[in-house]
Amino acid sequence: MKCKTVQAFTYGTLLLAFTVLGSPAIAQKSDGKVSLEELNPYMGAPVTFGKAPNGAIANKKLLDRVDQVAKFEPTILHPAEGIWTLVGYTLAPISIIDTDEGLIAFDTGDSKHDGEILIKAIRTFSDKPVKAIIYGHSHTVLGAGELTEGNDDVLVIGHPELNSVVEANLMSGGAPAYFPEIGPYLTARMLIQFNAFTPTQGPDAWVLPLVFPETMESAFIPVNTPVEDRQEMTVLGVKMQFFTRYGSDDKVHTAVWLPERKILFTTLLWMGPPQLYSVRGDVFRDPREWIAGLKEQRDLEPEILISAAALPVVGKENVRKNIEGYLDGASFVLDQTLRGILGGLGPDDLRHAVRFPDYLDKVPNNLQAYGEISSYTPAIYYQSVGWYDNDAVNLKKLAPIEESRRIVPLMGGRTKVLAAARDAMQKNEWAWAGQLVNHIYRLDPQDKEARKIKADVLRQMSYISTGGNDRAHMTSQALALEGKITLPRLIPPSLEAISGSPAVYVDYFRVRIDPVKSGETDSFIQFDFSDGTSAGLHIRRAVAEFVSEPNKHIRKPDVTVAMSGENWAKLYLSQSTPEDMIKSGDIKVTGDSVEAARLINLFDRYYPQKAVVIPPATLTQGHQ
């Protein structure tokens, strides 16, 4: 049997392939050579700045185009007879359909507080009661009770699995995560992304009001009328068809089609390209699902499109162009990323290589106002390939701090590295300046000069960025480096969430075991809660195995602690010590009380008041 010769792609041959194919994904110089940085505004490409109404300094590209997809101020739009869309009042728009029998609301806001704001706005154009609610997805459901003004006789329509998703979100350890144990970490990043730490006025303010509600209190009303994909129904006299197969940033979306009026209510067309990765961290969002949903909705040939994440689009041809341009933008990012992988590019190469060609960049909803596609391509790579970029050197890379310890002397020491960073800043090479100063920052996070340079670099990059998510992270970290704010690394779950599901949080507690403290321990501790549930942790040296049914475990408990869910929550959140709670009687111990306290103390404590930006070198020291 003869072996076929397989030609391996190298980085150089990939770039040649891109050049030959005429791909717009890579910028080309007139001499035919390829430059990955030629069009990079973070590396000196020209950028024009302007000022938003709140004084925020921002990329003029964003300011000139954002009014096509979003509003700076609360605005009520009237895209069709009997339909209103409220934008700028809350994080995402909601829409109202007027009928003879009452109002139908499409989404209800992210909190009870949102609902209070929205019902006041609704009352400026209608005094009819909200008699039906349709949930577009699980993120904008918590204001429902305020929109119905306490009326329980309301039709609530949504995806069959929406109630369980919302319940899980409300009772979770934080922001949705593939591993829910790290919810507190992602919650902190989520608050940063949604501008919880940035000013509302001035140069560092957010540009678009991508801001979480003041409080996250819930007024959720569960779905009482679940709908299946393509199900038809008449709601308050309005004929509707529901589409539930495809989602975007969660899996329980519902689109609504009014066939008699050719009006589509969708959650798939956003004010920016499909956010295939959120920089706060989230579960993978499969672009194929988003693309398939957009194709399905395009083929309905709507004449009016009303979005739960952007401004309405009116006119059959306008809707087609917008959906198709948006669909092609998503397909371009996916296909060019996969093409790059086939050609040998790794995740860091892809973030620079895949850029919208001009015709896709000009599509209104492809304005990178929410996220930027440079952060999506590595996420697709990691999902499809994993972290290894096929360069075997990277299989055994040094830890970042060890790299810095060796690079700084090679560059001539601290003074020369900082001078090089300042020189890069003079050339507007902000990304390079940031990478240089990070070597000094890693070695000494309290170095005042390094902190100032890094803050200046991040601030300039935030002004350049069009993506609200990117801007929020860069601005927030700049302010923290200047000592103007403190950024939490963790936002622990609420006492109510823990006390409502105490056994779940025994499971989550296991990841906080300190392998140095646990040493040679081999002990099984059982937790009995006043709601009748039990759980256990079998500590075997450096690992704590969660035991969901202690009475079925292979060994009997060495010690048992009994308490209420609320007292477990206080212990979990480090609001009290096990010694104090045993002494007060809040914890009742069967077995050795001293040993019970010792076992619980093998797990890291929360210190949220000290939760500032922690350099990577100290992450192994436990929760700080």
**Inter-CA distances, 443 with 424, 440, 591, Å:** 20, 5, 47
Task: Look at residue 215 and tell me whether its pLDDT is greater than 80.
Answer: no
Q: Which of 481, 492, 564, 577 has the alpha carbon at shortest distance from 528? A: 564
- Between CA 148 and CA 105 the distance in angstroms is 9
Helix (H, G, I), strand (E, B) or coil at 389: coil
With cut-offs at 50, 70 and 90, classify the pLDDT of residue 266. Answer: very high
What token pair was written down for 290?
């988003």
Task: Look at residue 36 and tell me whether its pLDDT is greater than 90.
Answer: no
With cut-offs at 50, 70 and 90, classify the pLDDT of residue 173. Answer: low
Residue, of 226 and 610, whose pLDDT is higher = 226
What domains does the chain contain, in order, with CATH numbers?
64-270 (3.60.15.30), 394-481 (1.25.40.880), 495-605 (3.30.1050.10)
- Which DSSP symbol is given to 281? -
Q: Which of 73, 108, 67 has the alpha carbon at shortest distance from 88? A: 73
- Which DSSP symbol is given to 413? S
With cut-offs at 50, 70 and 90, classify the pLDDT of residue 537. Answer: very high
Residue, of 6 and 343, whose pLDDT is higher = 343
Q: What are the E-state strand segments in 26-91?
A: 49-51, 57-59, 75-80, 83-87
Query: What pLDDT score was predicted for residue 387?
Result: 94
**What DSSP letter does each residue of 542-577 carry, written as one string?**
TEEEEES-GGGSSS--SEEEEE-HHHHHHHHTTSS-
Which pLDDT tens digit goes with each residue over 440-490? 999 999 999 999 999 999 999 999 999 999 999 999 999 999 999 999 988
Q: Which of 361, 274, 269 has the alpha carbon at shortest distance from 312? A: 269
Which pLDDT tens digit goes with each residue over 86-135? 999 998 999 999 999 999 999 999 999 999 999 999 999 999 999 999 99
Task: Look at residue 389 and tell me whether its pLDDT is greater than 90.
Answer: yes
Q: What is the mean pLDDT of the chain?
A: 90
What token pair was written down for 22?
């005429």
Share of the chain above pLDDT 70, in %: 91
With cut-offs at 50, 70 and 90, classify the pLDDT of residue 27. Answer: very low
Query: What pLDDT score was predicted for residue 608?
Result: 55
Which pLDDT tens digit goes with each residue over 577-620? 999 999 999 999 999 999 999 999 999 998 754 433 333 332 22
Find the mean pLDDT for residues 344-356: 95
Question: Which residues, listed in sequence order, are joined to residue 96 by a DSSP beta bridge?
Answer: 84, 105
Find the mean pLDDT for residues 242-260: 94
- Residues whose CB is less than 8 angstroms from the CB of residue 607 and which lie 6 or more positions away in sequence, other chains included: 574, 623, 624
Find the mean pLDDT for residues 356-385: 96
Q: CB-side exposure of 541: number of CA atoms within 13 Å?
A: 1
- Between CA 298 and CA 305 the distance in angstroms is 10
Task: Look at residue 21 and tell me whether its pLDDT is greater than 60.
Answer: no
Task: Look at residue 18 and tell me whether its pLDDT is greater than 70.
Answer: no
Least confident of 158-162, 237-241, 244-248, 254-258: 244-248
- Which DSSP symbol is given to 254? -
The number of residues making up the chain comes to: 624
- Between CA 137 and CA 254 the distance in angstroms is 6
Query: What pLDDT score was predicted for residue 39?
Result: 81
